[in-house]
């Protein structure tokens, strides 16, 4: 099950890369499938893209690999197990 975040984590601006490359900024090529990016000390793995993003990257000439399976989230798995344990039928 994919993780869906709510709220705004990043606003529209140039995002600096983490040290030792903090004099550089992320570019569109950094946001490709099966890549991990570190945004303000939070690491994200890109596993999918929507149709708009696919078309946008394609027009820019960015090659996109096949989609990958999202990694399992231990906390979500734990909450599902707890929910099943206490569900009455």
Q: How much is the pTM?
A: 0.63
For 1-89, where are the alpha helices, taking DSSP H only?
51-59, 74-85
- The answer to whether the CB of 47 falls within 8 A of the CB of 33 is yes
pLDDT digits (tens, 9 = 90+) for 49-80: 888 988 998 899 988 888 888 888 899 899 98
Residue 20: predicted pLDDT: 93
**Domains, in order of start, for the chain:** 28-85 (2.30.29.170)
47 vs 64: CA distance, rounded Å: 11
Average pLDDT of the segment spanning 14-21: 92
What does the angle CA 30 – CA 38 – CA 4 come to, to the nearest 5 degrees?
Answer: 90
35 vs 26: CA distance, rounded Å: 12
76 vs 66: CA distance, rounded Å: 25
- CB atoms near residue 83 (< 10 Å): 9
Of the CA atoms within 13 Å of residue 58, those in its CB half-sphere come to 8
């Amino acid at each position: 099950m994919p993780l869906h975040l709510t709220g705004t984590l990043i606003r529209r601006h140039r995002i600096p890369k983490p040290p030792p490359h903090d004099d550089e900024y992320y570019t569109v090529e950094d946001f490709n499938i099966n890549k991990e990016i570190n945004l303000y000390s939070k690491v994200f793995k890109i596993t999918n893209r929507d149709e708009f993003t696919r078309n946008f990257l394609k027009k820019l000439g960015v090659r996109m690999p096949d989609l990958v399976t999202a990694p399992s989230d231990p906390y979500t798995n734990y909450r599902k197990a707890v929910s099943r344990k206490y569900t009455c039928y």
